[in-house]
Amino acid sequence: QAKPGLTILASKISKPYIEDIEREVQELKSIRPDGPVLVGFLANNDPAAEMYANWTKKTSESMGFKYELRRIDDKDFLEEAIIEANNDDKVDGIMVYFPVFGNAQDQYLQQVVSRDKDVEGLNHVYYQNLYHNIRYLDDEKDKKLKSILPCTPLAVVKVMEYLKLYNTLLPMGNRMYGKKCVIINRSEIVGRPLAALLANDGATVFSIDIDNIQKFTRGEKLKYKKHHVEDLGKFSDELLKECCKDADVIITGVPGDSYKFPTQYIKDGAVCINFSSNKNFSDEVKEKASFYVPSTGKVTIAMLLRNLLRLVKNREYIKAH
């Protein structure tokens, strides 16, 4: 018997973005003959980070970028190395493979990366714009310099657009109106900004972490410009089940092999998206979900390279004006 739903791979979703990026890279050849330059800093011995770095290199170079991995043997020299790259005109984008120190110092280092070269979109200004629903870096009148979005939350949004969860008949900023989403992850890097993005577009978002459950909305009757957060209570299976009851989308991002989302909580026909590097859904998800996206990494890297091009364009615009 045919399964009701479809499994959609990230490679399929990223394809049109990759084609656009490749075309834009060619257009930039007049100012960057070797391609825009992305520098990655690796200052840990984490094999996962090493793998991710190799993968970034392979993908970006196949699309016409120049990628340079800078290994830093002594973590204490990382900050200086970042500053040097910030000041180097030949470097267009910078990324750091975290964790480095594995504590709050990592957040500090993240902010050392120049805002103008931050391809991952982790700079405080970008997060603040996201949380305040501000889409441009120049004032809203000029609208020449688009703000950068953190690439993993942005990738999940692009996956949702592909699956037509965003209703393009509605005006921009309202296209998720009435949709219910559950996100299992509230990290500062992915889950919380993603919840805010979706709420800013009109969705009701249940944001789940190991401790508690929160509800993100844009407030009643579309009157608010940015999202509101309400505490629903401590994490419990009962409360999770309740949140999933009529959820249109379930998004998971739990690190580690042992976690599996309870399939029985998924509404028939819901969309299930996993951005964790571990498989958070068991195979039975395919018998419930209308669409199942098992990973999003390929879309994330497309967004990272798209951010890099946007930074180059923003910088060229500023130079010319």
Active site residues: 151
Stretch that binds ligand NAD, among 13-21, 125-133, 182-190, 263-271 (CB under 6 A): 182-190
25 part of the interface to ligand NAD, by CB under 6 A: no
> Is the Cβ of residue 62 or residue 187 nearer to ligand NAD in the bound state?
187
Alpha helical stretches, state H, 88-173: 104-112, 124-131, 151-162
> Is the Cβ of residue 5 or residue 153 nearer to ligand NAD in the bound state?
153
50 part of the interface to ligand NAD, by CB under 6 A: no
* Non-local CB neighbours of 116 within 8 Å, separated by 6+ positions: 311, 314, 315
60 part of the interface to ligand NAD, by CB under 6 A: no
Stretch that binds ligand NAD, among 104-112, 194-202, 215-223, 254-262 (CB under 6 A): 254-262
Separation between Cα atoms, residue 252 and residue 295, nearest integer Å? 10
Choice from 224, 278, 279, 315 touching ligand NAD (CB under 6 A): 278
Site for ligand NAD in 132-161 (CB under 6 A): 152, 155
* Residue 62 and residue 2 in contact, taking contact as beta carbons nearer than 8 Å: no
Least CB distance to ligand NAD at residue 213 (A): 9
Q: What letter does residue 69 receive in the DSSP assignment?
A: E
300 part of the interface to ligand NAD, by CB under 6 A: yes
> Is the Cβ of residue 176 or residue 243 nearer to ligand NAD in the bound state?
243
Choice from 2, 169, 172, 210 touching ligand NAD (CB under 6 A): 210
Separation between Cα atoms, residue 17 and residue 279, nearest integer Å? 25
Listing DSSP states for 111-135 in one string gives HHS-GGGBTT--SHHHHHHHHTT--
Least CB distance to ligand NAD at residue 109 (A): 15
190 part of the interface to ligand NAD, by CB under 6 A: yes
18 backbone dihedrals φ, ψ, rounded to 5°: -65, -40
> Is the Cβ of residue 202 or residue 261 nearer to ligand NAD in the bound state?
261
User: For the sheet containing 66-71, what is the strand order?
Assistant: 66-71, 37-42, 93-97
Separation between Cα atoms, residue 22 and residue 215, nearest integer Å? 39
> Is the Cβ of residue 73 or residue 231 nearer to ligand NAD in the bound state?
231
Choice from 16, 99, 233, 255 touching ligand NAD (CB under 6 A): 255
Separation between Cα atoms, residue 68 and residue 289, nearest integer Å? 40
What binding mask, one character per residue, do residues 257-276 give for ligand NAD by CB under 6 A, x or -?
Answer: --x---------------xx
104 part of the interface to ligand NAD, by CB under 6 A: no
Q: If we measure between CA atoms, which residue out of 55, 60, 61, 57 comes closest to residue 70? A: 57
Q: If we measure between CA atoms, which residue out of 12, 15, 20 comes closest to residue 306? A: 20
185 part of the interface to ligand NAD, by CB under 6 A: yes
Residue 3: other Cβ atoms inside 10 A = 11
Q: How far is CA 301 from the centre of its chain?
A: 9
Choice from 191, 193, 202, 294 touching ligand NAD (CB under 6 A): 191
Positions that interact with ligand NAD (CB under 6 A)? 152, 155, 184-187, 189-191, 208-210, 253-255, 259, 275-278, 296-297, 300
